[in-house]
Chain A
């Protein structure tokens, strides 16, 4: 194939990926809405369960293993549960196909441009999305949280769609400053950490919803009206399990992010004569690093554990997004490689 054909193939595969991710999102959403663990089942089970919920949620937070059903596990599966589970499985399949299409998209682009496929902002976001999807597939294969896939696929579809339309640039060679083997290491690890932190951020938000729901129920609010937006909390897994998954993802992502920054510093020394210069991108990488470090510390500090720590994790992802979007577009600096 010629470079032009490869570039075309890459673009086709991008569309395939976005479409299948969207299908995955709908599959997951159907499972969430109609599944045994989902909205319908919960509503059906709610009247009989309400009292138990009040008692259970008021007790001490126990280190129980993840129980996706939460305190509203119905004794009988709702009629649509079986079929809904198939939609969930379809969601997984579609997400796998989408991830493969996206890997193909990146490979074709790399071949077309004759370089690693993370040389501009479009490609960077694309790598982050595929890493996020793969991270999610791994997490949901190990824990019974598949039905939460909708919450993950939604940001992935949005980010990738935005990347494919607004950020898109044609496949091309690199500018001289990027011509270094450090591009392989620094940018890929930075992108991988964005993908992992994305899933970590989503799980933090879900944890906050669930935790807020538990707290409101314990305070005596009715289970079916805990107050916006915590109503969704009752369909989410137990708070402790969500919290632990959140921590694991961040504990996995944080060293990679640290490594990415260190590699960036080594590269900056060779390219710009200094390892650190408070370029806006560097400044925000530092801010994110400090915020995530605060998260890891908060999780071990009395009075900061739980929702406060999770809030810091969400803030960490917000700073990552500011670094990616606001800094690339609004502030000019040495890292202006978006290609736009």
Chain B
């Protein structure tokens, strides 16, 4: 910020006006408080010197800037590498595609960037630097809020803005009038009488700038606290629910459950949600138009029958908000109703969810029957007669050609294409595995053998070589919901609101000073300076000085002159 020739007075007038960080205006060693220190005073001060220097370095604006850059830079790999927190499957895919590079990248936390130690190191350092910078500034600003504006510099005409006009009358009275004008404009003012008999008014305005600035940065700290409390005491879970089924809020009921690091299972609230009916509508192009899940819910230790009216229309952008948890509709798909009648006549009927593979909802899944074909009269289990079917569900099968891909996402002409397997499904091995596919190892090892494949439309029955049969009865729809609770959410929202208000305040309010001096020999001089946006302050300064000059009685001698010379600005009002 260039101003006119710096002089001592001017420096005094500027002091404290800056809202820029301290190191921009003051020499480094004045900053950390305590004033300049000489090394070698004592062993103690020498020992204290290094950490103090480090602290000064850390809380300096330059360090903050570098850390900001590092933060931005560190976030980039979070968008270039697949992230575990976003899509576990993509990370695994990356591992298979780059078997050499991936483990190395994994050691560098490239797949968990935002949970990595180096990302945390950057933002924690940034926040330490921020707090270290904030604390002294809050102190300074607190003092400035109660302090009176500084004494007027001796040479007001050396300030960036100045003006002078002749006046007549008692300097104190004129100064008071000027003060009145300034106070009406909500300036903080103080009137002082100088040794020469001149009376000065010092006025200052725009303290809100620094208040807003500090509020913004404090809100950032609040934001971090909110985010941290969310990840410590929050939890999230997801579950797939087929029409007609319900889930209750227990860890066992969820397909996945991620508790916060400090959260105990016992803290889960109690509720149950049942999916009655899922509806999806689509445009002719296949673009989805609306999803709606009609659900019933109960809270506390109640049964659905006790609260039959608690229904909810769960939609995207329209979550179900319960006490202590929210339920969000995240995904949906189809679950074909399959009925297998084994060679002993035992009927297995299930609606396994098939996961959507494309935008036309071609869905893939499996129907595994580890208990099929067991002789009901025998007590020994036969392993190699288990059954499994895998394949696709097509909501709208193509009218001709191979039924590989669905041509429309709505279930206009549903069909399944399934491959049947007989043998050992491997399900008794005790290893937990996906319910959406069969164990490929069992197929490869020959333990599971194909018994053929078939396309079935609704109602069709496929009779297998051993007399057992599979019927495609119909279909149900399923929804995937995300359930979760984030106790830090409200803190984050409030902090964000404060951030925004503080930001706008600190960017729009200007801190500025105005000085008026009235000398006993009838001269009114005014001077002004602003740290930011001096252009706009120039206009305001002119306006205020005009108003002051209009309110105080003009010098009669000058008035005569003004009468003779109409062009004089003095006469204009």
Q: Interface residues, chain A, CB within 8 Å of chain B?
A: 60-63, 65, 172-173, 175-177, 179-180, 182, 240, 244, 251, 254-255, 258-259, 262, 265-267, 269-280, 283-284, 286-287, 290-291, 293-294, 296-298, 300-304, 319, 327, 331, 333
* Contact in complex: B85, A277 (CB < 8 Å): yes
* Contact in complex: B72, A302 (CB < 8 Å): no
Q: Complex: how many Å from CA A62 to CA B318?
A: 56
* B501-526 vs A, Cβ < 8 Å mask (1 yes, 0 no): 00110010000000000000000000
Does B330 interact with chain A (Cβ within 8 Å)?
yes
Known pairs A273-B484, A283-B76 / 8 extra A-B pairs, C-beta < 8 Å: A175-B289, A179-B290, A258-B499, A270-B318, A273-B482, A286-B72, A290-B71, A297-B68
Query: Nearest CB to that of B160 among chain A residues?
Result: A63
* Contact in complex: B24, A273 (CB < 8 Å): no
A265-B496, A298-B65 known; A271 vs B317 contact (CB < 8 Å): yes
Does B459 interact with chain A (Cβ within 8 Å)?
no
Contact of B65 among A254, A270, A304 (CB under 8 A): A304
Residue among B65, B78, B493 with the highest chain A CB neighbour number at 10 A: B65
A176-B288, A300-B24 known; A278 vs B65 contact (CB < 8 Å): no
Q: Complex: how many Å from CA A304 to CA B315?
A: 50
A300-B20, A304-B62 known; A177 vs B317 contact (CB < 8 Å): yes
Contact of A278 among B21, B68, B114, B534 (CB under 8 A): B114
Residues of B with C-beta under 8 A to A267: 317
Does B535 interact with chain A (Cβ within 8 Å)?
yes
- B537 to nearest A CB, angstroms? 11
* Contact in complex: B83, A176 (CB < 8 Å): no
Contact of A270 among B21, B319, B499 (CB under 8 A): B319
Q: Complex: how many Å from CA A285 to CA B32?
A: 35
* Contact in complex: B289, A273 (CB < 8 Å): no
Residues of B with C-beta under 8 A to A262: 496-497, 499-500
Contact of B500 among A60, A63, A259 (CB under 8 A): A259
Contact of A279 among B86, B315, B500, B503 (CB under 8 A): B86
* Contact in complex: B79, A284 (CB < 8 Å): yes
Q: Complex: how many Å from CA A331 to CA B318?
A: 27
Does B125 interact with chain A (Cβ within 8 Å)?
no
Contact of A301 among B62, B78, B290 (CB under 8 A): B62
Residues of B with C-beta under 8 A to A333: 86
* Contact in complex: A301, B328 (CB < 8 Å): no
Q: Complex: how many Å from CA A80 to CA B338?
A: 85
* Contact in complex: B79, A300 (CB < 8 Å): no
Query: Nearest CB to that of B318 among chain A residues?
Result: A270
Among B56-82, those with CB < 8 Å from A are 61-62, 64-65, 68-69, 71-72, 75-76, 78-80
* Contact in complex: A300, B287 (CB < 8 Å): no
Residues of A with C-beta under 8 A to B83: 278
Does B357 interact with chain A (Cβ within 8 Å)?
no
* Contact in complex: B78, A294 (CB < 8 Å): no
Residues of B with C-beta under 8 A to A302: 23-24
Size category, B interface = 35 or more
Query: Nearest CB to that of A65 among chain B residues?
Result: B535
Residue among A179, A267, A319 with the highest chain B CB neighbour number at 10 A: A179
Does B291 interact with chain A (Cβ within 8 Å)?
yes
A273-B482, A278-B114 known; A176 vs B316 contact (CB < 8 Å): yes
* Contact in complex: A297, B534 (CB < 8 Å): no
* Contact in complex: B3, A63 (CB < 8 Å): yes
Residue among B68, B285, B330 with the highest chain A CB neighbour number at 10 A: B68
Residues of B with C-beta under 8 A to A265: 492, 496
Q: Complex: how many Å from CA A63 to CA B496?
A: 35
Residue among A65, A176, A274, A293 with the highest chain B CB neighbour number at 10 A: A176
Query: Nearest CB to that of A289 among chain B residues?
Result: B72
- B534 to nearest A CB, angstroms? 6
- A226 to nearest B CB, angstroms? 23
Does B457 interact with chain A (Cβ within 8 Å)?
no
Does B294 interact with chain A (Cβ within 8 Å)?
no
A277-B85, A298-B65 known; A251 vs B288 contact (CB < 8 Å): no
* Contact in complex: B79, A283 (CB < 8 Å): yes
Does B236 interact with chain A (Cβ within 8 Å)?
yes
* Contact in complex: B317, A301 (CB < 8 Å): no
Q: Complex: how many Å from CA A299 to CA B380?
A: 81
Q: Complex: how many Å from CA A293 to CA B507?
A: 12
Q: Complex: how many Å from CA A294 to CA B64?
A: 9
Among B319-337, those with CB < 8 Å from A are 319, 326, 328, 330
Sampled A-B contacts (6; CB under 8 Å): A175-B288, A176-B288, A176-B316, A177-B316, A293-B68, A304-B62
- A292 to nearest B CB, angstroms? 10
Does B549 interact with chain A (Cβ within 8 Å)?
no
* Contact in complex: A172, B316 (CB < 8 Å): no
Does B124 interact with chain A (Cβ within 8 Å)?
no
* Contact in complex: A254, B76 (CB < 8 Å): no
Residues of B with C-beta under 8 A to A275: 486, 489, 492-493
Among B266-321, those with CB < 8 Å from A are 283, 285, 287-291, 315-319
* Contact in complex: B75, A287 (CB < 8 Å): yes
- A79 to nearest B CB, angstroms? 34
* Contact in complex: A300, B72 (CB < 8 Å): no
A274-B484, A278-B114, A301-B61 known; A287 vs B503 contact (CB < 8 Å): no
- B518 to nearest A CB, angstroms? 29
Residues of A with C-beta under 8 A to B533: 244
* Contact in complex: A291, B72 (CB < 8 Å): yes
A272-B330, A278-B78, A287-B76 known; A173 vs B500 contact (CB < 8 Å): no
* Contact in complex: A63, B75 (CB < 8 Å): no
* Contact in complex: A303, B62 (CB < 8 Å): yes
* Contact in complex: B79, A60 (CB < 8 Å): no
* Contact in complex: B72, A173 (CB < 8 Å): no
* Contact in complex: B2, A287 (CB < 8 Å): no
